[in-house]
């Protein structure tokens, strides 16, 4: 979850709140559209020796190949010891997982429920793609969907780069232009997407999105008395309100005007669920430039993008985003193909353990880099990283104190284990991020 308004500003000013990105960059609750929903843009060049972030003493061996739709991806093609590569092994291993293609997994069940809605209402018109490779060019991920050259989402702090021209897609919109160019007029793209981010119960560096696109020709709207844009916007809202009712039942909804680089006008849909307004998706009428470049000059289209984890957490009552990656049977055995309404029953709550660490930061320090180091050591045992103190002394040196919550979803952690993790974290935060521990 999560490309772009004032992210730069948000990052530098809201030091004690979660970092954002797409609307203010990623504003997200769990990952999704916030990252792109702003025009403010500044690419912070926060590239420490990022490649060093992935080399940890005593790291366990990582598989050297993953399979993706019959194609094998070698670790060496993705994780490279070069300053322009910021992909850790923990991310490489996720490339083959494809949770959205598992029919008994909450993410797959939700994908199928959305497919059902489109199949029922549009008589199998929408072509579905769910096996497109997540390794895409910078052109596909950003340029083709008109993300400005200086937009914050392009920074090494926010996106995983294999090399300066190649990234792990940070949104399924990366495939829009290419599929349009191939002549498709109705399609859904589901896939895993990758974003560098901070750590809490709703943020994980890999999550899943679904993109939808529908193209109209002049004959579709001419008899309506509306112009193409108004016609598409109305159709879009009707379609997505129906989808929200299909997933959530008879809920109250509201439309919010927003900004995305790829659509104009742009909207977000919110639903009133469990006494809160919940952002469900981002959407809009596709920019003419995208249609023109894909050979659709006279046409008009709508597009939407939604974050599957965000919705699945609400629909299945899943309290922590790490659970989606659990292979513990007590999690996996609770869900059934085709059953959207099942509520997850927590199998146990193991106690969290908190450790604080303080250090003097330097100019290139970012919270995303810190979280990458911590995740590289503690993996999914780290539940949350929170900035709890922040001050600048008379000499202009800034100190941050972070509280790290360690907790397993599956078992109790021993004191020794946590002390070892924390010792390693302290050592590597110091050496990899060049900060001075206090």
Cβ-in-10-Å burial (0-12, 13-18, 19+) of 427 comes to: middle
Token digits of residue 215: 């193209």
Task: Tell me how far, at minimum, the Cβ of 304 lies from ligand DAH, in Å.
Answer: 5
Determine the Cα–Cα distance for residues 170 and 151; give it in Å rounded to an integer.
13
With CB under 6 A as the contact rule, which of the stretches 105-113, 282-290, 331-339, 352-360 interacts with ligand DAH?
282-290
State the minimum distance, in angstroms, from the CB of residue 100 to ligand DAH.
15
What's the farthest any 2 CA atoms get from each other in the chain? 73
Euclidean distance between CA atoms 208 and 284, whole angstroms: 20
Coil, strand, or helix at residue 339? coil
- The continuous run of DSSP H or E covering 286 comes out as strand 276-286
**Please, which residue, 46 or 263, has the CB nearer to ligand DAH?**
263
Instruction: Give the residue among 94, 113, 4 at the shortest CA–CA distance from 340.
Output: 113
Binding region for ligand DAH (CB under 6 A) out of 32-40, 49-57, 374-382, 414-422: 32-40
Q: Which of 5, 8, 11, 22 binds ligand DAH (CB under 6 A)?
A: 22
Name which of residues 221 to 280 contact ligand DAH (CB under 6 A): 260, 262-263
Minimum distance, C-beta of residue 23 to ligand DAH, in the bound complex (Å): 8
> What residues contact residue 420 under an 8 Å CB cut-off, 6+ apart?
none
Hey, which residues between 301 and 320 contact ligand DAH (CB under 6 A)? 303-305
Report the chain's C-alpha Rg in angstroms: 22
Instruction: Kindly state the number of chain residues that form the binding site for ligand DAH, as judged by CB under 6 A.
Output: 18
- Tell me how far, at minimum, the Cβ of 138 lies from ligand DAH, in Å: 15
Q: How far is the CB of 374 from ligand DAH (least distance, A)?
A: 25
Sites for ligand DAH among residues 150-179 (CB under 6 A):
171, 173
Give the residue with the Cβ less far from ligand DAH, 119 or 264.
264
Nearer to ligand DAH by Cβ, of 269 and 429: the residue is 269
Using CB under 6 A, which of the segments 33-41, 81-89, 196-204, 378-386 binds ligand DAH? 33-41
Q: Is 36 in the site for ligand DAH (CB under 6 A)?
A: yes
Half-sphere exposure of 185 (CA within 13 A, CB side): 11
From residue 236, how far is each of 212, 304, 310, 431 by CA, in Å? 10, 8, 21, 51
Measured from each CB, the residue nearest to ligand DAH is 305
Q: What is the DSSP string of 140-202?
A: HHTGGGT--TT-GGGSTTTS-EEETTEEE-SSGGGGHHHHHHTT-SEEEEEEEEE-----BTT
Is residue 284 a contact residue for ligand DAH (CB under 6 A)?
Answer: yes
CB of 283 to ligand DAH, least distance (A): 5
* Peptide linkage before 265 cis (omega within 30 of 0): yes
What is the four-CA torsion angle of 415, 411, 107, 332, rounded to 10 degrees? 160
Output 283 or 370, the one with its CB closest to ligand DAH: 283
Query: In terms of CB distance, is 265 or 379 closer to ligand DAH?
Result: 265
One of 283, 314, 377, 378 touching ligand DAH (CB under 6 A): 283
Q: Report the residue number, 196 or 432, with the smaller CB distance to ligand DAH.
A: 196
CA 306 to chain centre: 10
Q: According to CB under 6 A, which one of 18, 282, 340, 353 is a site residue for ligand DAH?
A: 282
Question: Does 382 help bind ligand DAH (rule: CB under 6 A)?
Answer: no
Nearer to ligand DAH, 35 or 432 (CB): 35
Shortest distance, CB of residue 260 to ligand DAH, whole angstroms?
4
> If binding is defined by CB under 6 A, does position 205 make contact with ligand DAH?
no
With binding defined as CB under 6 A, does residue 33 bind ligand DAH? yes
b/e sequence 319-330, b meaning 16+ C-beta within 10 Å? ebbbbbeeeeee
- Check residue 203 and report its DSSP letter: B
DSSP 394-432: TTS-EEEEEEEEE--SSSPPPHHHHHHHHHHHHHHHHHH
* Interface pick for ligand DAH out of 7, 10, 32, 314 (rule CB under 6 A): 32
Interacting residue ranges for ligand DAH, rule: CB under 6 A? 3, 22, 32-33, 35-36, 171, 173, 211, 260, 262-263, 282-284, 303-305
């Amino acid at each position: 979850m999560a490309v772009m308004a004032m992210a730069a500003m948000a990052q530098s000013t809201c030091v004690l709140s979660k970092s954002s990105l797409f609307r203010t960059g990623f504003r997200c609750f769990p990952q999704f559209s916030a990252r792109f929903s702003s025009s403010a843009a500044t690419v912070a060049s926060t590239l420490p020796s990022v490649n060093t972030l992935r080399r940890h003493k005593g790291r366990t061996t990582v598989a050297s190949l993953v399979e993706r739709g019959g194609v094998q991806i070698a670790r060496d093609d993705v994780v490279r010891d070069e300053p322009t590569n910021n992909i850790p092994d923990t991310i490489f291993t996720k490339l083959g997982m494809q949770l959205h293609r598992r029919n008994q997994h909450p993410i797959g069940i939700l994908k199928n429920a959305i497919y059902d809605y489109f199949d029922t209402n549009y008589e199998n018109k929408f072509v579905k793609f769910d096996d497109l490779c997540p390794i895409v060019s910078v052109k596909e991920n950003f340029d083709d969907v008109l993300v400005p050259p200086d937009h914050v989402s392009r920074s090494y702090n926010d996106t995983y780069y294999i090399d300066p021209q190649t990234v792990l897609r940070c949104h399924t919109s990366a495939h829009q232009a290419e599929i349009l160019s191939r002549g498709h007029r109705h399609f859904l793209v589901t896939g895993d997407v990758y974003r560098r981010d901070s750590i809490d119960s709703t943020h994980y560096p890999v999550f899943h999105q679904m993109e939808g696109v529908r193209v109209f020709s002049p004959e579709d709207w001419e008899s309506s008395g509306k112009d193409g844009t108004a016609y598409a916007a109305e159709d879009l809202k009707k379609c997505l309100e129906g989808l929200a009712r299909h997933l959530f039942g008879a809920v109250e909804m509201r439309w919010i005007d927003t900004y995305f680089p790829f659509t104009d006008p742009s909207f977000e849909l919110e639903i009133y669920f469990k006494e809160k307004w919940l952002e469900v998706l981002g959407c809009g009428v596709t920019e003419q430039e995208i249609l023109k470049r894909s050979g659709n000059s006279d046409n008009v289209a709508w597009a939407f993008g939604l974050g599957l984890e965000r919705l699945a957490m609400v629909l299945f009552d899943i309290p922590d985003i790490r659970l989606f990656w659990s292979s513990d049977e007590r999690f996996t055995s609770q869900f059934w193909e085709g059953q959207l309404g099942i509520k997850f029953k927590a199998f146990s709550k193991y106690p969290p353990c908190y450790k604080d660490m303080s250090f003097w930061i330097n100019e290139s320090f970012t919270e995303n880099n810190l979280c990458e180091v911590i995740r590289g050591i503690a993996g999914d045992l780290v539940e949350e990283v929170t900035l709890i103190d922040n001050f600048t002394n008379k000499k202009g040196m800034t100190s941050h104190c972070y509280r790290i919550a360690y907790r397993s979803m599956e078992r109790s952690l021993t004191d020794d284990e946590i002390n070892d993790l924390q010792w390693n974290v302290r050592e590597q935060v110091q050496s990899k991020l060049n900060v001075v521990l206090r």
